[in-house]
Amino acid sequence: MGETQIICVNSGAGLHMLGRGSNGDYYDPATGTLNNNWGNPDAPGFGGATGGMYEFTGLWLVLN
């Protein structure tokens, strides 16, 4: 069984939750796409990888 990660991000308009699957890809609620490979949210450059849309806030939940 895989894990699911829920990452809290700031998008300028407020806080949002991104879902991340066991394959490392993110679900983007703004576009509805499932195949976003943005890397680890706590890595430098995460905001740039998301096109500047999201900034990691520090809350990262892992569900097994």
pLDDT tens column, 3-31: 899 999 998 888 999 999 989 999 988 88
| Within-domain flag for 44 | no
pTM of the entire structure?
Answer: 0.84
Total number of domains in the chain: 1
Task: Please list, in sequence order, all residues whose beta carbon lies within 8 angstroms of the beta carbon of residue 45, skipping any fewer than 6 positions away.
Answer: 39
| Within-domain flag for 64 | no
| Within-domain flag for 33 | yes
| Within-domain flag for 20 | yes
User: pLDDT tens across 25-58, in order?
Assistant: 999 888 889 999 999 999 989 999 999 999 999 9
Domain that holds residue 16: 1-38
- 3 neighbors 22 (Cβ within 8 angstroms): yes
In this predicted structure, the answer to whether residue 63 has a pLDDT above a threshold of 70 is yes
| Within-domain flag for 26 | yes
